[in-house]
Amino acid sequence: MSYIVGHPIKHPADFYGRHEQITRFFEIIGGRQTQSVSVLGVRRAGKTSFLQYVAHPTTMAHYLPNPDAYTMVYLDMSSCKTSADFYHRLLQRLRLSLGKARTDFLWKESPRGQTKLYDIEAYLCQFPDTRIVLLLDEFDHLRTEAFDQDFLTELRAMTGVLEYDLACVTASYWDLYTLGARLGLPPTSPFYNIFYPTPIYMSSLELTEATALIDTPAAKGGVRFSEDEVRDIQELAGSLPFFVQATAAKWFRHKRTGASPDSETARRQLAADLAPYFDQWWHNFTSSERNALLTVAGERPLTDLDYPPLELDSIMRRLNGYGLVFQADERWMINGRIFQTWLRQYAQLQDVRPVVPQPVSGAELARIRHALVDSFDLDELRTLCFDLGMDFESLPGQGKPAKAREMVNYWRNRHDLTRLTEAIRYERGDII
């Protein structure tokens, strides 16, 4: 099989596109002073392949004037259960990349299971002339294991030591502010200051990049696609590389057997085959993002959504950054008919236009507010907001009563108090 569907790309010759993102990456990493950067993308957008590609010696030699002065260290955060586990694994990877440190001071490494920040700093101080770039993949994993805000604070401290040169590259779906809030880190934390102001999105491939990804592997396998076939694949798959390859691979197999691929049959089959990946996306979307996607998939105007213009603009820019929607002739469209088919089937063609709001009594609003104030502490309210896709820090007011009041207002204004009450019952049982 000429297409690599599923596994991260290991060899640079098999990596297609992302020229703009690669150029930005090396501009940030290779500047006069090292900077950290966040890489964002949905699952299967190619974040791991991107990190592997930029860390390859051939790529570094092409984009960096002095590649020997850099060391890229890749670490999958999903393999780390605690901060001590992270530091232990990182120290081992650093040793593999940099070799044994020659130290002129007494340093005794902490026992395994107790590795700490000091161990990393003491080791790195022995390499003052090397710029070290940590590639921290699956950074979302922090919210599922025993990590807290202290870990992010230590990560920032590690990049600020003058005796060595260190940058962090995080790859995740959630942006750093959302992850930080989930771990209890305030939005004013200096942790965010070490990162380049705008993240690098693993968004859609350019048209020429997607075409090369379809044509080149097929040609290596002895198959030639017609222009119509390439266009059919692109319309079905969209332009995220995993889905382009999965769709092109299906065409490739048909062509090898002499069969004529049928676009409509392939659309239905691939919508079912790729459903687990779309379902992962859906689980992470906020309710506002879901409504926006369903509206676009149903070819309805976004004015059907009762959201303030600035909020709607933010939603669409985020979805566009992830490569899920695009604009054509001033109209938003879903990136790929396969994903559009899945959206329509998942929602069962439901009408997502705002329903006529039913009046809610003051007593009902007070009852929900009291449940939040009496049954949740401030950190638990922050977690509840995260699970509901809300930005806790952006809610007006200070203190628990004010935040609880604004949470109720938020959902009342969206005519969806049921979502809030269901989330409360899920956490605390039938208290309202």
pLDDT digits (tens, 9 = 90+) for 336-376: 999 999 998 875 433 444 444 456 788 888 899 999 999 99
Low-confidence ranges of the chain (pLDDT < 50): 348-357
> Could you give the residue ranges of the DSSP H alpha helices within 183-262?
207-220, 227-237, 241-256
Q: What's the confidence (pLDDT) of residue 231?
A: 94
Report the alpha-carbon distance of residue 31 to residue 242 in Å, rounded.
Answer: 31
Number of Cβ within 10 Å of residue 407's Cβ equals: 24
Q: Is the dihedral of CA 139, 143, 147, 152 positive or negative?
A: positive
Helices (H) and strands (E) in the chain, counts: 19, 7
Query: Which whole-number Å values give the CA distances from 323 to 16, 239, 414, in the listed order?
Result: 16, 8, 26
Q: What's the confidence (pLDDT) of residue 358?
A: 57
Which of helix, strand or coil describes residue 339?
Answer: helix
Number of Cβ within 10 Å of residue 420's Cβ equals: 22
Report the alpha-carbon distance of residue 378 to residue 53 in Å, rounded.
Answer: 42
Number of Cβ within 10 Å of residue 184's Cβ equals: 15
| Cβ–Cβ under 8 Å, residues 216 and 252 | no
Residue 80 CB contacts under 8 Å (≥ 6 apart), including other chains: 86, 89, 141, 145
Q: What's the confidence (pLDDT) of residue 337?
A: 95
- In tens, the pLDDT along 206-231 reads 999 999 999 999 998 898 999 999 99
Question: Taking the C-alpha atoms of 414, 342, 275 and 74 in order, what is their torsion angle to the nearest 10 degrees?
Answer: -70
HEC readout, 148-196: CHHHHHHHHHHHCCCCCEEEEEEEECCCHHHHHHHCCCCCCCHHHHHEC
In which residue are the tokens 């299906």 written? 250
Output the average pLDDT for the chain: 88
One-letter amino acid of 120:
I
Q: What's the confidence (pLDDT) of residue 110?
A: 82
Q: What's the confidence (pLDDT) of residue 355?
A: 43
Report the alpha-carbon distance of residue 110 to residue 115 in Å, rounded.
Answer: 5
Q: What's the confidence (pLDDT) of residue 101?
A: 63
Indicate the pairing of strand 131-137 with strand 331-334.
Answer: unpaired
One-letter amino acid of 316:
M
